[in-house]
Amino acid sequence: MDKMAYFLHNMSAVEKDYKSWFCYLPQSPGAREWGFFVLDAGYTLIPPNTPYPPGKHPDDHMFSWEKGRTLDSFTLVYITRGSGVFESRSGGQQSINAGDLFIVYPGEWHRYRPDPATGWDEYWVEFDGEQARRIMRNQSLAPVKPVHTIGIDNQILRLFLEISEAAQIQTPGFEQIIAAQAALIVARIRAHRFDSNPEARQIERVVQHARVHILKNADQCINFQRLASELGVSYSALRHNFKQITGLSPGQYKMQIQINKACALLRNSDLTVAQIAEQLGFESIYYFSRLFKNKTGLSPLAYRKG
């Protein structure tokens, strides 16, 4: 029985007591092309002294505490009541309390369960995709640090519930909507990390100042060594932290801004290619044209005609 059929077979029993709901989604070509797609989502309210895990999920997602399991994708699990334990190959065993969110990583053996004395309330969403894997490829989101203490965050809880609701109703375009909501949960996890760590907040502030400076001066020659000095850090530290947060080095970030501006000018102005190159601070029209084609796959003139 496939996952969707399995869910439909069990849904009436699951919804009857309003304490558990889940949905396993078939993946349409459009969802996969989006680069970030949700595989399943749901919630379970586990009372004290209740067998765990509940026995209503597909075989490839069921597990026992003795054996654990390994999944092929990412899962976010948010605990809003109760306590328990989470264990993974890279992260070891950690206590879980209300307000903790743990991440199950692809290929990571893991297991988790509530304390029988308290039970717990869990909300989860499983996702994957090329874009999802790029987003999760971040130093602050690593298998060695799978547990994030974020407290009872009503905005994050609302996102979990909205994903479950949208997956249940399945209006047109819901796959992209719930994918965006799952990505927003990840973004809020990262935001909590910076909020709770003074050193991380300082790094974020330095990078943000650098980003604003580059944005305002993208058409000028920027001395990044001097910029780093003005921000009170070494250039190597600025470059490392800038790339960790943005995915690009400061020079690449500046170049991308220039290319984006060039695309807008080619589409929406009558400026010649030479004038655009000069306006954006490129050394020559030849260098600009070569770089533009390298980044977009088209020459400036071909891009304008397209």
* Position 280, amino acid: L
Q: Which pLDDT belongs to residue 60?
A: 72
Average pLDDT over residues 116-133: 95
Question: Which of these, 124, 141, 127, 89, lies nearest to 110 by C-alpha position?
Answer: 89
53-81 pLDDT, tens digit per residue, is 886 777 777 888 999 999 999 999 999 99
202-220 pLDDT, tens digit per residue, is 887 898 899 999 989 999 9
Q: DSSP state, 170?
A: -
169-215 pLDDT, tens digit per residue, is 889 889 999 999 999 999 999 888 765 567 777 887 898 899 999 98
Q: DSSP state, 141?
A: B
Q: Does residue 228 have a pLDDT over 60?
A: yes
Q: Which pLDDT belongs to residue 173?
A: 87
Q: Which pLDDT belongs to residue 196?
A: 56
d(CA 85, CA 301) in angstroms, rounded, equals 60
Domains in the chain with CATH codes: 3-196 (2.60.120.280), 198-306 (1.10.10.60)
Beta strands in the chain (DSSP E): 20-24, 37-46, 74-88, 92-97, 100-104, 110-114, 120-128, 147-149
Q: What is the largest CA-CA distance in the chain?
A: 74
Question: Which of these, 299, 224, 294, 284, lies nearest to 254 by C-alpha position?
Answer: 224
